[in-house]
A and B are shown apart, each in its own frame.
Chain A
């Protein structure tokens, strides 16, 4: 499994030309995930149109755009969660460390062990806190040690709150704690990338700011891709921002500062300044 997904290849053939409408796609650092001419259809309706972008390593990349524009769809293509939707049909390629994850020899289960995911609504399993964090290790047939559990909970800034109740049900935690538990669960298996789909949209402001702090810390070790419809949030925590607009189009992708201060595209500017959306 690791052989398939971890092969680093940066041959010229697999490097795409920068394909965003803006020209600001020159990154320092390594590209971890990269989509090329990605089209996604649900049945007959197209949800993503020709999306190409590169996601840099150990940074926070945000996806913003009005609801229904395909942000979640894009995110779910990155770890092949869309395979679980029968009607979804994907054209184009996604490269993870240079390897096309839609190639025939890639197991989606193995891929998801390297690319973790945190969802919009906190979805801890109806098990104990300990078992939630241990779940990924167990299904991946890795050894579970108390140290790994503690370390994961610490890195998710949850340890101090739950260290005395590891054997109680995760469902007894507050929404914000549940979401941090989901983050702990995702990092326990030590993935390369963490995908987050509006991780704070169901939380109150205090819980939201805790999650935001956490995301910035996580970016020191992991590549984080976050979907949000909250522009301030994207501005606060992300290094790069991709703007999707209705119809599943990637309109602009650049440094977050650039997008918010001086976007190239008129529609992006209208969206950022709240003229529509």
Chain B
């Protein structure tokens, strides 16, 4: 009726007021959206400023890096964004270069801390039996059902490695570390790359690739020895980084007609930084007062000389604890999710039990981490004190690494379970029906149809869980992990350490450089690790959602 008396359709003052109100409301909503993001930006600015110290740098420093780094990468980005082929090649190239760099760091830290000898024994002896099973499958063309033979053979291999361990260890103790690195790292990588090239090109190229990776690794190790440098790190770098990067780049180069320049992305970035650093030194420009240095990454901790302090022990400790946690917790979490989604009935008392479990798992996700710490203290630490005979009877040694890993494992369990459940639930029921309709059992259906489809989602959840665990502090403090560690832990039965604990301890150090410099730089590393993990998880999810 208002419209009838209002031929201009401007709605009158009443409507205008409502419209204004609506706009104000929208503005409030936008502001609430921005709060979190702005806080994150502020965080990065603050700790980035402390860690990098840009205030100390000359104006010419900024100009230098603009020329070597910012300008080339900006032009490149503009070019690549217009070209779909190049941009997909660019993504692949970045993933390969930085993925393999991170991979090499993790491999080096793990093999180094668990001792290359042990890894070699378990890997070589442990893979004998699975290799036999796979060979049998291959010879028979996969036509015979081998079912659980593979997992059983893996278990069998690991057990026999454990039994043979005391006999082998004196023999291979005389072998130099770097040779064992070649066995446990270069061997599998060369074989894997060889198979990859064989599948894409030909058997001959595959063999050439494997030999080339092995040869290049040995050659670099030789050079390192003559230069008096420890060859172990170069062995890992050449086989884990140079090998895959070369193979992926060559493969892409030969396969693609256009957009090949997309391969350059990571090299422009790395080259820009290296060239900038070199020129900076040559020209004597006053650079950043940065705490984010190789010293910080590679040195042992020092509580008195901030410029000497390094977080290598804490990095090794974090990788060790979180890695052990993954081994302990992921199978349990995925197993629980499979039970709840695929097996648990929806009716009857078992159905009600499953529903109750389901609801409470979500509740667990909200339990404060301090409380998990208390639980870990009671379950995994005091347990060894209260009933010391029990672990001894089981042949277990008390281990703070395992206690810490188990505690964090409980903490992330709900994350793993819930995200795996979601992944399983998103597998269309029609696929399950199709499988059952062909006479597959429930386990065959899960194994052959459901799990392969759910793997990307499950992986995403695992990576998010790792990101959560790597930053946890309180539970580790409570179960008694040392907050300051001076040397790298050795294996799962050594001492435990974790990066966030060192940050926690040093934030109260009386020397101001610790509080403003080292802590900030260590936090940047922790944050970067988490961001990389989370973005990897998001990438995996997006990639598979699109397919």
Contact = CB atoms under 8 A, between A and B. Distances in A.
Interface of A: 79, 81, 84, 86-87, 109-110, 112-113, 116-119, 121, 123-126, 135-136, 138-141, 143-145, 182, 185-186, 189
Nearest to B427: A126
Contacts of B435: 125, 135, 139
Contacts of B428: 123
Nearest to B145: A141
B434 interface: yes
A39 B432 CA distance: 25
Contacts of A189: 438-439
Interface stretch (B74-82, B270-278, B448-456): B448-456
| Residue in B431, B436, B437, B441 with the greatest tally of chain A CB atoms within 10 Å | B437
8 contacts: A84-B433, A109-B439, A118-B437, A126-B453, A136-B440, A139-B438, A140-B439, A143-B143
B535 interface: no
Contact of B431 (A116, A123, A141, A144): A123
Given A109-B440, A113-B438, 4 more contacts: A126-B431, A135-B440, A136-B438, A139-B435
Contacts of A145: 143
B440 A139 contact: yes
A116 B436 contact: no
B434 A182 contact: yes
Interface stretch (B34-42, B229-237, B343-351, B513-521): B343-351
B430 interface: yes
Given A110-B439, A119-B437, A125-B431, A139 B448 contact: yes
A143 B141 CA distance: 10
Contacts of B305: none
B144 interface: yes
B439 A113 contact: yes
A101 to B, nearest CB: 14
A121 B434 CA distance: 10
Nearest to B428: A123
B72 interface: no
Nearest to B346: A86
A123 B449 CA distance: 12
A65 B448 CA distance: 36
B176 to A, nearest CB: 45
A238 B292 CA distance: 78
Nearest to A88: B347
A225 B434 CA distance: 17
A87 B347 contact: yes
B444 interface: yes
A117 B441 CA distance: 15
A186 B435 CA distance: 10
A84 B347 CA distance: 12
A139 B440 CA distance: 6
